[in-house]
Amino acid sequence: DIQMTQSPSSLSASVGDRVTLTCRASQYISNSLNWYQQRPGKAPSLLIFSASRLQSGVPSNFSGSGSGTDFTLTISGLRPVDFATYFCQQSYSLPITFGQGTRLEIK
């Protein structure tokens, strides 16, 4: 299985800040990387697919980049609703696997 490692595991930031979350794959996955947001008690919600493509309806303050093994999710102009947990997921090979998550907290 491909292992996905996210860093940091938690992050404190303020409203209006710009933050970058990182996801690293244990082997080459091309651009087969997706990002999800999960609020407490809710199901995850797709933000970014194919490393950099914004899902319909997702605000433009979210952006993704990377290829190969290293990927980033950048959130600019943090809003209160953006404080949540973020997961990456590789789709290069089955079984699909997820990172352990980055919890974004309000400072």
Binding footprint of other proteins on the chain (CB under 8 A): 1, 32, 34, 36, 42-46, 49-50, 55, 87, 89, 91, 94-101
Of 11 and 46, which has the nearer Cβ to other proteins?
46
The nearer residue to other proteins, 75 or 99, going by C-beta atoms, is 99
Q: Collapsing DSSP states into helix, strand and coil, what is residue 82?
A: helix
Q: Which is nearer to other proteins, 78 or 99 (CB)?
A: 99
77 conformational bin, left if phi > 0, alpha if psi -120 to 50, beta if neither: left
Least distance in angstroms from the C-beta of 61 to other proteins: 20
Answer yes or no: are the C-beta atoms of 27 and 2 closer than 8 Å.
yes
Nearest CA among 101, 107, 106 for reference residue 8: 101
